[in-house]
Structure 1
Amino acid sequence: MQAKPQTLLDPARADGQAGPQVIAVHCRSDDFRATPLHSHARGQLIAATGGLLSIDTGDERLVVPPSHAVWIPGHQPHSLRSHGPFDGWSVYVAPAACAGLPRQALVLQVSGLLRAAVLRAASWSDALMPDAMQARVLAVILDEIASLPRARLALPLPAERRLKKIAQALADNPADQRSLQQWAEWAAIAPRTLSRRFAAETGMPFSEWRQRARLMRALELLMAGQPVTGIALDLGYDSLSAFIAMFRRSLGVSPSKYLSAKNSVA
């Protein structure tokens, strides 16, 4: 199965001010989507109506279940991958309309109002300027982006070379059980320096960062249809109950209830 590398909106339009200040698109594909690193002048809000998206900005990795969306400010480099066939929507906001919107990439919890407004706007022809009714719907989209709750589904990456090497290795294989001491030896950095600088650069202790990396991989595997027991073992947990306890502490529900809720949203 081949990934679809195309962006959701023509790059010339994503980089321009021409046309409506807000352009919404909806795309469905039998293939998974993998868009290489790129950027554009318009800010972008992207979400899946089913399945899971992961987005890398170079500074962090963001995971997006169907109940959430990622806001990417203009000129922010990013790449995207869907886990399974792609069915999603996106909103592109002209620079002039981004003044009141977040200036950093983040995950937002999607409201029913936002989803309905985006899908309504995606059904219009965006070749013409919006009429008064359409302009009000587009204004609702902007208001929702500015006010929706932020979600803790981001994995910030440290900037220091040795720390980033450790973080990328753990992000690629969250089941790696090496201790902080062993990681420090592997990267040729003092354990105390690793602990102190990792927390300073990512905003969380090393152990908490590792747990979040495991949580985000668990979401990917869960949405891909893997059984919970298998996910727990793949992520290095000694028991299913320990994995479920971590998941519930992080997201407030068990993996099975979380999956049921996401499927109902989709």
Structure 2
Amino acid sequence: MKITGHFLSPTRQAEILPFETASRSIVGFACDYPAGLSSGMHSHPRAQLLYATSGVMRVDTQDTSYLVPPTTALFLPANVEHAISMDGPVAMRALFMREEVAARVANVTKVIAISGLLRELILAVCAETVEWELEGRGYYLTELTLDEIARAEPLPLGLQLPSDARLLRVVMGLLKRPHDRSNLEEWSDVASASSRTLARLFRAETGMSFRQWRQQARLTAALSALSTGGSPARAAAIAGFDSVPAFGAAFRGLFGITPGQARRRYFGSRDE
């Protein structure tokens, strides 16, 4: 493990080392983390699939912020620097993959949808020993897991992060408070830059306008709320929408499904 940030204790490093160096193609790592824990920037020599059976993770790479609610997972190629923050208590179940098998499923960082089958496979792999039997259950579990990861639906839950420190202050504020309705002129005080400069930086560094970036951040936060059981009305409020129908139209425009459908798909609720 390579560490460039502020927090990963020697104990946690020692816990992860056997999974980073295992001889098997895939090994599962299970650990529960308290609310508010942040790993700081670090990387692993193996690819990972980061998944949580409960709780929401935010994973920041050098240039993108990913929200990872339950029933989604984040695939990270080997050696990608990232920091994980726990939004509430998180029950993490991660897979470490050797290079040759990781190449079979992806070569870029992405969020994927977790089907019921893939969830159970991840849990089963995590229940296996690090040196599972090559001709036993572990082999068949990992082969099916790889196939399911490769088939999984990618989700638009990544937000481009800027390198400019002034703009970064703005986008981090938006991520923490997606309901904030401050306009670009008001954010200029936080950034110590004019609204015109911020508008130019948004386009240059994220490929989006301020309104477009904020809208995606809001809808991503809303999906997180829906996936943990929040109602469409609650998700709309979190995302800063006064009108639930307007929220529904914007949500469907980004994700291709309604908030009610997302709640049923990701949380298993039958209520609209």
Question: TM-score, with normalisation over the residues of structure 1?
Answer: 0.79
Name 1:68's counterpart in structure 2: 72
Pick from 12, 17, 24: which aligns with 1:12?
17
Deviations 1:236-258 (A, max 9, x none): 32333322332232223333332
Pick from 26, 37, 40: which aligns with 1:34?
37
In the aligned structure 1, how far is the partner of 2:97 from the partner of 2:194? 45
In the aligned structure 1, how far is the partner of 2:74 from the partner of 2:221? 17
The Cα RMSD (Å) is 3.3
Equivalent pairs, count: 260
Deviates more, 1:215-224 or 1:41-50: 215-224
Relative to structure 1, the CA distance from residue 202 to residue 126 in structure 2 (aligned partners, 3 Å threshold; closer, same or farther) is same
Residue 174 of structure 1: SS of its match in structure 2?
coil
Name 1:246's counterpart in structure 2: 250
Name 2:63's counterpart in structure 1: 59
CA contact (8 A) 2:52 2:70 kept: yes
Q: Which amino acid aligns with 2:106?
A: P
Bigger relative CO (Cα 8 Å, ≥ 6 apart):
1
Residue 108 of structure 1: SS of its match in structure 2?
strand
**Which aligned segments of 4 or more residues in structure 1 are displaced greater than 6 angstroms?**
none
In the aligned structure 1, how far is the partner of 2:146 from the partner of 2:124? 14
Question: TM-score, with normalisation over the residues of structure 2?
Answer: 0.77
In the aligned structure 2, how far is the partner of 1:31 from the partner of 1:186? 30
Describe how 1:96-245 pairs up with structure 2 within 5 A: 96-131=100-135, 134-184=138-188, 186-223=190-227, 225-245=229-249
Residue 36 of structure 1: SS of its match in structure 2?
coil
Residue 62 of structure 1: SS of its match in structure 2?
strand
Residue 268 of structure 2: SS of its match in structure 1?
helix
Pick from 44, 47, 53: which aligns with 2:48?
44
Deviations 1:176-233 (A, max 9, x none): 2222344346534454543343233223322111011112222344455555434434
In the aligned structure 2, how far is the partner of 1:96 from the partner of 1:9? 25
In the aligned structure 1, how far is the partner of 2:104 from the partner of 2:201? 33
Residue 177 of structure 1: SS of its match in structure 2?
coil
The offset of 1:8, in angstroms, is: 10
In the aligned structure 2, how far is the partner of 1:98 from the partner of 1:252? 28
CA contact (8 A) 1:83 1:220 kept: no
Relative to structure 1, the CA distance from residue 261 to residue 79 in structure 2 (aligned partners, 3 Å threshold; closer, same or farther) is same
Residue 163 of structure 1: SS of its match in structure 2?
helix
In the aligned structure 2, how far is the partner of 1:227 from the partner of 1:115? 23
Gaps of 5+ in 2: 1-8
Gaps of 5+ in 1: none
Name 1:24's counterpart in structure 2: 28
Query: How much identity, in percent, do the aligned residues show?
Result: 31
Residue 216 of structure 1: SS of its match in structure 2?
helix
The offset of 1:46, in angstroms, is: 1.6
CA contact (8 A) 2:56 2:68 kept: yes
